[in-house]
């Protein structure tokens, strides 16, 4: 087993490499385990006692139509602790399951045609063969393994045809998909490299949406096992998908069009594609979107389930985002600077009065707190109090107060006769009820109603004489500095 694959498997299974081998009867499950242990486990076992014990426990396989494994078996029976390269230590165990029945197989019925009862580690009583296969497989996948191997065959050896294996394989895969455990389908074959076998593998991986590999199980090599384990690693869920985006995307408001489209796309994609093997599909989907210019996978760490993806965006996309923020199109550098300056001005005002806005909206009266820079310190003075002396430090600051005053304006045109006035009134009421906007823009005596009313309001605003405003300001200063909540009468 190559270092890399082994490290990944050990890391992903947190040091407990438990492989459940399930599938149809007579497909080569026991042969697979035997070969796997001989090639992969035994060479790593240093102590002779354990070595010989494991060898004795290797499962039996047999030829013909008669089912061989009639009760589930753990191999080795006790998990064996393996240490290699000093820093990698893990436990390894495989489970040989009772196979799902192929009807024409022999051994699952007694001679009198009744169902054969078999022993399992999960029930004290014997249970029917068929139940032992289904329940045992579920137990093994759920509680005793972190990697599943589904064994099936193309019918190139033994007594059964591909359609017979396929029927059972469909049932096993359906059952396994109910559990969220990574598994790989192995097509056991005497011709793993034949074009028709490759075609079958492609067809099955498409049909089931799982990783499929063709292996000549009794002759499989170390490289074959590595490939199988790599495929199994791809079936694990991605535990962390890191999207490396330009930093301006990170700081964008979630409400902005770009960021909300970005979030939606990423959520949809990661919701649909969850497994390590989907990393390239995720890349493909992101790449096809107009939100990014390029999407590159920079790292896939099978051991930790981490996928790193680098996303880049063109200047054009950046400019679109800027235009949305500024609220106008940026034709050239000059328009961009002009917009920025206008925003700078607006920011200055916002810095000055912004803190007053929430209260203004809530109570119609908001007070903006002065900043430290706005505070003006006067020259400290000597202070005499009786026979004792002190010092006086005085500072002042502008406190801006915003008041919302509701201004009313009326428009009272004389129309003519009572009927004419009533007719116009009815017309206006109809508009008011159905389409107030229309009424607002309707023309009376050649002018829009909204203009007439707005002129009325403006004239009231301008009608407050400057000296009244000054008096009001002086009064407010008195209230703030000395008023202490007392009543002050303003005489205009």
Ligand X SMILES: Nc1nc2c(ncn2[C@@H]2O[C@H](COP(=O)(O)OP(=O)(O)OP(=O)(O)O)[C@@H](O)[C@H]2O)c(=O)[nH]1
Q: Summarize as ranges the residues that interact with ligand X (CB under 6 A).
A: 25-31, 61-63, 67-69, 99, 151, 157-158, 188, 190, 216-218
Residue 26 beta carbon to Mg ion: minimum distance, rounded to whole angstroms: 8
The smaller minimum CB distance to ligand X, of residues 30 and 283, is found at: 30
| 3-class DSSP state of 210 | coil
Give the angle 98-99-103 at the CA atoms, nearest 5°: 130
Residue 171 beta carbon to Mg ion: minimum distance, rounded to whole angstroms: 18
Residue 237 beta carbon to Mg ion: minimum distance, rounded to whole angstroms: 30
DSSP 4-30: HHHHHHHHHTTTEEEEEEEEBTTSSHH
Which one of ligand X, Mg ion, none is in contact with 136 (Cβ closer than 5 to 8 A by kind)?
Answer: none
Residue 6 beta carbon to ligand X: minimum distance, rounded to whole angstroms: 24
The smaller minimum CB distance to ligand X, of residues 146 and 189, is found at: 189
Binding of Mg ion by 188 (CB under 5 A): no
Which one of Mg ion, ligand X, none is in contact with 188 (Cβ closer than 5 to 8 A by kind)?
Answer: ligand X
Q: Which of residues 24-53 bind Mg ion (CB under 5 A)?
A: 29-30
Q: According to CB under 5 A, which one of 5, 19, 58, 68 is a site residue for Mg ion?
A: 68
Of 124, 89, 79, whose CA–CA distance to 7 is shortest? 89
Give the angle 86-91-93 at the CA atoms, nearest 5°: 145
CA–CA gap between residue 119 and residue 425 (Å, rounded): 94
Residue 189 beta carbon to ligand X: minimum distance, rounded to whole angstroms: 7
CB 306 within 8 A of CB 242: yes
Which one of Mg ion, ligand X, none is in contact with 205 (Cβ closer than 5 to 8 A by kind)?
Answer: none
Number of Cα atoms under 13 Å in the Cβ half of residue 230: 13
The smaller minimum CB distance to Mg ion, of residues 104 and 180, is found at: 104
The smaller minimum CB distance to ligand X, of residues 25 and 75, is found at: 25
Only one of the segments 68-76, 141-149, 395-403, 436-444 lies at the binding site for Mg ion (rule: CB under 5 A); that segment is: 68-76
Which one of Mg ion, ligand X, none is in contact with 423 (Cβ closer than 5 to 8 A by kind)?
Answer: none
DSSP 405-455: -----------SSHHHHHHHHHHHHHHHHH-HHHHHH-EETTEEHHHHHHH
CB 436 within 8 A of CB 430: no
Binding of Mg ion by 69 (CB under 5 A): yes
CA–CA gap between residue 386 and residue 335 (Å, rounded): 67
**Counting every residue, how long is the chain?**
492
Residue 60 beta carbon to Mg ion: minimum distance, rounded to whole angstroms: 7
Residue 36 beta carbon to ligand X: minimum distance, rounded to whole angstroms: 11
CB 297 within 8 A of CB 283: yes
Residue 157 beta carbon to ligand X: minimum distance, rounded to whole angstroms: 4
Please tell me the count of residues contacting Mg ion according to CB under 5 A: 4
The smaller minimum CB distance to Mg ion, of residues 31 and 283, is found at: 31
- Give me the helix-helix angle, 162-177 and 129-143, nearest 10°: 50
CA–CA gap between residue 293 and residue 319 (Å, rounded): 13
Which one of ligand X, Mg ion, none is in contact with 158 (Cβ closer than 5 to 8 A by kind)?
Answer: ligand X
> Which residues are near Mg ion by CB under 5 A?
29-30, 68-69
């Amino acid at each position: 087993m190559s270092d890399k694959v082994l490290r990944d498997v050990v890391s992903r299974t947190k040091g407990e490499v438990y492989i459940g081998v399930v599938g149809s009867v007579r497909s080569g499950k026991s042969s697979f385990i035997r070969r796997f242990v001989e090639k992969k486990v035994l060479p790593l076992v240093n102590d002779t006692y354990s070595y010989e014990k494991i060898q004795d426990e290797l499962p039996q396989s047999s030829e013909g139509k008669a089912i061989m494994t009639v009760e589930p078996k753990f191999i080795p029976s006790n998990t064996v602790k393996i240490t290699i390269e000093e820093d990698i230590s893990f436990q390894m165990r495989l489970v040989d399951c009772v196979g799902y029945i192929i009807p024409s197989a022999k051994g699952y019925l007694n001679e009198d045609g009744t169902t054969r009862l078999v022993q399992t580690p999960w029930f004290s009583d014997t249970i029917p063969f068929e139940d032992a296969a289904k329940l045992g497989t579920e137990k093994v996948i759920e509680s005793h393994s972190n990697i599943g191997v589904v064994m099936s065959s193309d019918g190139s050896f033994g007594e059964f045809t591909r359609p017979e294996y396929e029927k059972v394989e469909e049932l096993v895969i359906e059952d396994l998909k109910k559990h969220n455990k990574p598994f790989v389908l192995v097509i056991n074959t005497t011709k793993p490299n034949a074009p028709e076998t490759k075609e079958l593998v492609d067809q099955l991986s498409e049909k089931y949406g799982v990783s499929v590999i063709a292996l000549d199980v009794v002759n499989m090599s170390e490289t074959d096992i590595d490939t199988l384990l790599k495929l199994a690693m791809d079936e694990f869920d991605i535990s962390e998908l890191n999207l490396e985006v330009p930093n301006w995307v990170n700081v964008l408001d979630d409400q902005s069009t770009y960021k909300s489209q970005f979030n939606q796309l990423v959520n949809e994609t990661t919701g649909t594609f969850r497994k390590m093997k989907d990393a390239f599909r995720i890349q493909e989907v992101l790449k096809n979107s107009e939100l990014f210019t390029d999407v590159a996978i920079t790292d896939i760490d099978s051991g930790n389930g981490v996928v790193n993806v680098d996303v880049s965006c063109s200047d054009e996309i950046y400019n679109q985002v800027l235009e949305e923020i500024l609220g106008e199109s940026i034709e050239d550098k000059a328009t961009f600077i002009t917009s920025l300056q206008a925003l700078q001005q607006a920011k200055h005002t916002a810095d000055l009065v912004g803190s007053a806005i929430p209260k203004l909206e809530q109570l119609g009266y908001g007070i903006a707190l002065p900043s430290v820079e706005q505070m003006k310190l006067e020259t400290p003075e000597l202070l005499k109090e009786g026979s004792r002396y002190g010092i006086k430090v005085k500072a002042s600051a502008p406190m801006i107060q915003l008041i919302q005053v509701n201004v009313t304006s009326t428009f009272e045109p004389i129309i003519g006769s009572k009927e004419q006035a009533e007719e116009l009134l009815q017309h206006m009421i109809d508009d008011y009820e159905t389409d107030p906007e229309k009424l607002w823009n309707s023309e009376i005596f050649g002018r829009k109603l909204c203009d007439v009313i707005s002129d009325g309001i403006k004239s009231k605003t301008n009608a407050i004489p400057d000296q009244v405003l000054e008096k009001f300001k002086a009064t407010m200063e008195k209230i703030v500095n000395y008023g202490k909540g007392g009543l002050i009468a303003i005489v205009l």
